[in-house]
């Protein structure tokens, strides 16, 4: 959620809630599977977007997953979905210094979004919670109040922090920049925006930054799965409840659908989007000859690795050109 005026449009008792759109796939190297589900829920408009993407970069299979929750309209979230990961994988330091590349890509995407928004009268913004899988590294970056949670050794662990204006360090940053935080149903920047970091939001940009907080986790036998979700899920689920529900269902698409459906039943008033990545045992791949394995790692996965259900909405369909594009720059400059 974002702007104050959206609160009035969050519920409609006569609205029929559609079945969540969903899909999923398996990485070519067999190291992870993923699933997603997304629904407008009880809202009349859809401002959530997501991306599930696998690329072959410098001989490595790389997984890129993201949830983008728009406010003030869908434009900003859709823009971030279409450009953030392309800007990231074309960064010259993507492999050698992934964290700095993520920070640069987030800020570059934000700058380009603001330029593209000059002709629009209404301000728009978006959160982003993303996860990058490279080798045995899971790198999570977050801006806003979408959230990333992992299950490690059976325990629910938040690997991102919700950026709220009343957090002491966020409030201090905003006030040092000349802004203010006030209560208007919840704590809001300038009495307007309920998140303290976001893409876009041109009128509040001096205070609402797109600098991501980044956390890295090692992918090992104790890491079971990752949940990325917009705040429509976390409004009605604790981290522990979400992890417990995903544990019950091995298939990540089915577990994502179950989470979204249950969030609707629990009364979530927002759009709800969830991406789940399940980390798989690699023992089965040890029988593959080294020559065929090396050859496979040099190739991006076929389009068939991503299956999309027939119920998926148009705004969330993954463009095959986006999925398979390997080191083809979008004229990004850092």
- For 7-51, how does the pLDDT look when each residue is reduced to its tens digit (9 = 90+)? 444 444 445 667 789 999 999 999 999 999 999 999 999 999 999
Q: Is the pTM of this model over 0.85?
A: no
Q: What is the mean pLDDT of the chain?
A: 84
Closest alpha carbon to 210 in 68, 92, 322: 68
Residue at 63 is within a domain: yes
- The gap from C-alpha 75 to its chain's centroid, in whole angstroms, comes to 16
Higher pLDDT: 307 or 40? It is 40
pLDDT surpasses 50 at 310: no
Query: Picking from 66-80, 86-100, 202-216, 292-306, which range would have the lowest pLDDT averaged per residue?
Result: 292-306
pLDDT reported for residue 312 = 39
pLDDT reported for residue 286 = 37
pLDDT reported for residue 212 = 98
Give residue 162's domain range.
4-324
Q: Where do we find the tokens 């434009």?
A: 75
Residue at 156 is within a domain: yes
The phi and psi torsions of 156 (rounded to 5 degrees) equal: -85, 125
**Distance between first and last Cα of the chain:** 30
Number of domains in the chain: 1
Biggest CA-to-CA distance, the chain: 62
Residue at 334 is within a domain: no
Q: What is the DSSP string of 1-28?
A: --BGGGGGGS--TTPPPPPPEEEEEE-T
Give the single-character DSSP code of 211.
Answer: P
Mean pLDDT of 153-157: 97
pLDDT reported for residue 117 = 77
**What tokens appear for 78 in the block?**
């859709």
Higher pLDDT: 12 or 151? It is 151
Instruction: Collect all residues with Cβ–Cβ distance below 8 Å to 159 and sequence separation of at least 6.
Output: 140, 148, 149, 150, 215, 217, 226
The alpha helices in 181-329, defined as continuous H runs, are 231-234, 239-247, 252-265, 290-297, 320-324
The phi and psi torsions of 18 (rounded to 5 degrees) equal: -75, 155
Residue at 195 is within a domain: yes
User: What is the C-alpha separation between 31 and 27, in angstroms, rounded?
Assistant: 6
pLDDT surpasses 90 at 128: yes
Residue at 21 is within a domain: yes
pLDDT surpasses 80 at 276: yes
| Percent of the chain topping pLDDT 70 | 78
**What tokens appear for 100 in the block?**
């700095």
If one counts every other C-beta atom within 10 angstroms of the C-beta of residue 176, the result is 9
pLDDT reported for residue 287 = 35
Residue at 20 is within a domain: yes
Residue at 332 is within a domain: no
Residue at 256 is within a domain: yes
The CATH number of residue 143's host domain is 3.60.40.10
């Amino acid at each position: 959620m974002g702007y104050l005026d959206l609160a009035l449009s969050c519920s409609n008792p006569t609205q029929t809630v559609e079945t969540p759109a969903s899909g999923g796939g398996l990485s070519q190297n067999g190291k992870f599977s993923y699933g997603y589900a997304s629904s407008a829920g009880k809202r009349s408009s859809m401002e959530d977007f997501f991306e599930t993407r696998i690329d072959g970069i410098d001989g490595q299979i790389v997984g890129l997953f993201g949830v983008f929750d728009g406010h003030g309209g869908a434009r900003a979230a859709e823009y971030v979905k279409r450009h953030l990961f392309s800007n990231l994988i074309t960064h010259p330091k993507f492999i050698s210094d992934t964290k700095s590349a993520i920070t640069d890509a987030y800020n570059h995407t934000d700058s380009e979004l603001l330029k593209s928004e000059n002709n629009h009268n209404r301000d728009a913004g978006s959160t982003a919670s993303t996860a990058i899988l490279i080798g045995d590294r899971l790198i999570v970056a977050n801006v806003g109040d979408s959230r990333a949670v992992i299950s490690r050794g059976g325990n629910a662990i938040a690997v991102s922090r919700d950026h709220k204006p009343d957090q002491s360090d966020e409030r201090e940053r905003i006030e040092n920049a000349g802004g203010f935080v006030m209560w208007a149903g919840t704590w809001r920047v300038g009495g307007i925006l309920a998140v303290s970091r976001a893409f876009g939001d041109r009128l509040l940009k001096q205070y609402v930054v797109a600098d991501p907080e980044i956390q890295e986790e090692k992918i090992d036998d104790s890491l079971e799965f990752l949940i990325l979700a917009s705040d429509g899920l976390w409004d009605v689920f604790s981290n522990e409840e979400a992890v417990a529900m995903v544990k019950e269902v091995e298939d990540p698409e089915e577990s994502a659908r179950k989470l979204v459906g249950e969030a609707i039943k629990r009364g979530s008033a927002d759009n709800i989007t969830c991406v789940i990545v399940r980390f798989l045992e690699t023992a089965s791949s040890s029988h593959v000859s080294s020559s065929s394995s090396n050859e496979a790692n040099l190739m991006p996965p076929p389009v068939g690795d991503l299956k999309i259900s027939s119920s998926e909405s148009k705004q969330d369909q993954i463009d095959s050109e986006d999925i398979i594009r390997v080191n083809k720059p979008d004229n990004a400059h850092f």
